[in-house]
Amino acid sequence: MTPNQQAFLDQYLAQFSEAERNDIPQFLAEYFCADEYNANECARLIGLGIKTASCSLKAGYDIDDEPLPVVGRLTVVLDWNATPICIVKLTSVEICPFNQVTEAFAQSEGEGDGTYAWWRKAHIDFFNQYAQEIGVSFTEESELVLERFEKVYPV
């Protein structure tokens, strides 16, 4: 986390006691998506409270031997230039095959035209490309990590 990102997080954390801060399981600063346009758009949608969920291919965690996200984690949401936009708190994490993602979850991602059809096509395209990059295949049964979050700062 850069000093600017840490200062942004510290502004939010200042309202909590040391014990409350110690109960937060993880801190992270990141942008969503893998390109400038979508990273900036996701940051904007999260900042507006429209985007309240995200998903990723579980195989990426497995290959990198990275632990799954933990409920309660705070994420400083960044734009493509690494500028803090807001902070979200992770409220749920679940593993779900791609072909069982609900329309309600897809809509909570808040992207595109808001339809399940748009979400499905965009994610098939993205996950096919990402799977190739990490050396796995993507299928309808591939497991996703579904994350729901709420914007907590600024409110």
Name the pLDDT band for 94 (thresholds 50, 70, 90): very high
Structure tokens at 79: 């734009």
pLDDT in tens, 22-60: 999 999 999 998 899 999 999 999 999 999 999 999 999
Residue identified by tokens 């510290």 is: 10
pLDDT digits (tens, 9 = 90+) for 66-90: 999 999 999 999 999 999 999 999 9
pTM: 0.93
Confidence of residue 155 (pLDDT cuts 50, 70, 90): confident
Cβ-contact 128, 138 below 8 angstroms: yes
pLDDT on residue 54: 97
| Every domain of the chain and the residues it spans | 3-153
On whether the 3-153 domain is CATH 3.10.400.10, my answer is: yes
Distance CA 111, CA 109 (A): 6
